[in-house]
A = this chain, B = another copy of it.
Amino acid sequence: MVELSEANAQFIAERFKALGDPMRLRLLQALRAGERSVGELAERTGGGQANVSKHLQVLLQQGYVDRRKEGTTSWYRITDPEVFTMCNLVCGGLEEELGRKRKLLRRR
């Protein structure tokens, strides 16, 4: 494992932070099926064009997605499906969380 120096903590935190936004997660989800243009992604996620474009820059900079330009349209795609492994890991935590909440509700 990479040593968690101060500089590395900064890098790793930024990688996590890039995944810490619902819109960006939905973008990744939408890209799961394959390459998509910005317009398609805006439509599928229900976000504004500018907003989607900016979020894609974040994912691009962190290397989660890749871009291919064709004419005036930009095609984005997942670079490393490993990102979904991480989603599954936190989803595990999510299921526990939901279980905990269901318990709490039952207790009342």
Residues of A within 8 A of B (CB): 1-2, 4, 6, 8-26, 29, 62-63, 80, 82, 84-97, 100
Contact = CB atoms under 8 A, between A and B. Distances in A.
Given A15-B93, A82-B92, A93-B80, A22 B2 contact: no
Contacts of A63: 93, 96-97, 100
A14 B9 contact: no
Give this chain's copy count: 2
Chain A residues touching B, majority SS: helix
A57 to B, nearest CB: 16
B2 A94 contact: yes
Given A10-B22, A25-B9, A15 B94 contact: yes
